[in-house]
Structure 1
Amino acid sequence: MIKLAVDCMGGDYGPEKTVAGACLILAERTDLYCLFYGDQERIEQEIPHDADCSRIEIIMSDEEINNEDHPLKAIRKKQNSSMVKALKAVADGTADAFVSAGNSGAIFTGSLSIIGKLPEVKRPASVTILPTTSKVSPHYFLIDSGANISTKPEHLVQYGKLGSKLAEQMLGAENPRVGLLNIGEEDSKGNDFTKEAFQLLSDSKEFNFTGNVEPHTLMNGTHDIILTDGFTGNIMLKSVEGMAESILNELLENLIINADLNDDMSKTVEAFIHSSIRRYTNEDAGGGFILGAKAPVVITHGAASTTMFKNSIDLAITLKESDAFSSLNE
């Protein structure tokens, strides 16, 4: 039985989306047991009448960490919050993994201080699974996607090594191709950070570093892992998601207005475009996870829908079941 600690109060919608999403996957996975942390009354209101309550446990938490809270101060002061109590459950072995749509800075800080990090990792990173247009390599890892704004070049070497182990299992990539996000493919391109990182990555023999990668080629499926600092990575992530949603919505609007489509064709086109929007805004992947934490920690969007939160839990299960994730602790 896989036990997940779910921070039900995190995100813009709280239990309305988190509990509903968790119950969707509970109905699919009979080997899943969920520990719901948060306001008991609000959580109970969102549990469907047909849910298997024998695999649900509610742990009352009368404090919440919101997006306005300072991450470190909140983790220290709000010990009875749903987030802190759920993280502690993973740390003491009560739960196998943690999922939340809450304050990402607090989750990252709490994960490292409560669950702890792997000894060989100096500074853990955020990993986001992003789509490509390739049928052969439909996804890649973006590392770091926002955890560290002051990443050092040597950290990227660690991310390349650990990320490659995960990419082999989770993406099915043989000898994963690792690239460095830069403004040009030439070795000499970039700032001091990327130039130093390029040299360190080139010198490493522990993974398959293939050189610099320009942003406009990211969706081609030519790489399994893209490395960058958290500041640049987060800007890129939000740019990709926002642009994809805007362009696809505009395309749908123009088709509805200008194309001579019957009702059936309109519904089909709309379904295909909405499917693409879900894929490129990361709803299908569910969210990101922390590379370097001792146990699976999944962080999803604050505005996550029920479906996205369900997929976030599915990602946590995949991480827990992954041989590669277990090997990171060896």
Structure 2
Amino acid sequence: MFKIAVDAMGGDNAPEAIVQGIEIARDSLPNVEFLLYGQTDKVLPLIQDDTRISVMQADDVIAMADEPVKSVRSRKQSSLVLAANAVKSGQADALFSAGNTGALLAAGIFLVGRIKGISRPALMTVLPAMAGDHDSFVMMDVGANAENRATHLYEYGILGSFYAKEILGYSTPRVGLLNNGGEEDKGDAVHKEAHQLLKSGSAAGFINFIGNVESREILQGPADVVVADGFSGNATLKAIEGTALSLMKMIKQTIMNAGVIGKLGGAMLKPALKQVAGRLDPEQYGGAVVLGVKAPVVKTHGASGPEAVAGTMRQINTMLETQLIEKVETFVSAHKDDLAARETEE
């Protein structure tokens, strides 16, 4: 029986959406128990069926605007910290929150703990691919680290490949380095060095590196794993999300302003447009994962509803069933000398 520790108070719609999502997930995951940490007077009345659901009192809540690291270190009775400590102590197998992203990252790194041999855990998300061999791809880092060394990017290629293979089912994930051009000598010193490290890792058989990819082409599926420094990855992700929202709004406004004929045409196109909107909806691809820590630590969007929460629970269950973290730890332990050598060379 897997146990998932849940920050029941994190997120814009907490605790209502969290509890509802947990109950949906519970009904489809018979091998999972959910440990909810939150204010019991607010959480307990929302539970319709407490089968495999336990609620533990948390006197404090880390809000979205709170300073992440300081809050995690000082607010020991917050719902997020208590949930993270449950994973640290072995009472739970995974950690979930829809709350403060920075605080979840801090809790994952400082409480759950970094995998020995991984120098910089990162935030990974799954995005839709509009063309190519697969319908989605992995991208990391998308905001955990504003600055990176080349060896960090090399590690992201390895971590992302494990996720793409074990969770998405891609047999030989193609790894691309996000850069400002496809040529090998493009980018700053960090990205040039990262290119060479990824290339050498590919030659050693650790990853399948295909070279640089540009932000304008990543939605076309040239790579199954897109490696980025945290600043560029986050900026690219937000640009994609903003463009998708603006595009759908523009289409709707254009149809509504086109008169009767335009509205009739829009009505005929509505099913197709809903399908496109669904492909661009980040919630359908699960939560963002903190990769490089000792247990699954997953963050879903703060505004997520019950279905998105339930989907993220299924994502965590898959990570546990496939023993993703254990496989990463085994690989890193077996190749610790190689990873250390690349760090030294840099």
Match of 1:43 in 2: 43
* Count of residues paired in the alignment: 326
1:242-253, aligned counterparts within 5 Å?
Answer: 242-253=242-253
**Alpha-carbon distance between aligned partners in 2 of 1:273 and 1:87, rounded to the nearest angstrom:** 40
**Is 1:221 matched up with 2:221?**
yes
1:46-65, aligned counterparts within 5 Å?
Answer: 46-47=46-47, 49=48, 51=49, 53-65=50-62
Runs of 4+ in 1 over 4 A off after TM superposition: 261-265
Q: What per-residue deviation string (whole Å, max 9, x for no partner) do you get for residues 235-290 of structure 1?
A: 11111112112212322343355374888983x74454344334323110122101
Change over 3 Å in CA distance of 1:89–1:127 after alignment to 2: same
1:82-231, aligned counterparts within 5 Å?
Answer: 82-134=79-131, 136-204=133-201, 205=204, 206-231=206-231
Helix, strand or coil at the partner of 2:177? strand
Whether the aligned pair in 1 keeps the contact of 2:213 and 2:222 (CA below 8 Å) is no
Whether the aligned pair in 2 keeps the contact of 1:166 and 1:325 (CA below 8 Å) is no
Under a length normalisation based on structure 1, what TM-score does the superposition of the two structures give?
Answer: 0.92
- Measure how far apart 1:220 and its partner are: 1.3
RMSD between aligned residues: 2.0
- Measure how far apart 1:189 and its partner are: 1.5
Match of 2:280 in 1: 280
Under a length normalisation based on structure 2, what TM-score does the superposition of the two structures give?
Answer: 0.88
Whether the aligned pair in 2 keeps the contact of 1:252 and 1:270 (CA below 8 Å) is no
- Measure how far apart 1:164 and its partner are: 1.4
Structure 2 spans left out of the alignment, 5+ residues: 331-346
**Alpha-carbon distance between aligned partners in 1 of 2:265 and 2:21, rounded to the nearest angstrom:** 30
Q: What per-residue deviation string (whole Å, max 9, x for no partner) do you get for residues 158-210 of structure 1?
A: 11122212211222212211000011101121122211211222222221111
Whether the aligned pair in 2 keeps the contact of 1:252 and 1:273 (CA below 8 Å) is no
Whether the aligned pair in 1 keeps the contact of 2:199 and 2:209 (CA below 8 Å) is yes
**Alpha-carbon distance between aligned partners in 2 of 1:152 and 1:239, rounded to the nearest angstrom:** 24
Whether the aligned pair in 1 keeps the contact of 2:3 and 2:94 (CA below 8 Å) is yes
The sequence identity of aligned pairs, in percent, is: 35
Residue type at the aligned position of 2:222: T
Helix, strand or coil at the partner of 1:283? helix
Larger mean CA deviation between 130-139 and 177-186 belongs to 130-139
Whether the aligned pair in 2 keeps the contact of 1:184 and 1:212 (CA below 8 Å) is yes
**Alpha-carbon distance between aligned partners in 2 of 1:85 and 1:179, rounded to the nearest angstrom:** 38
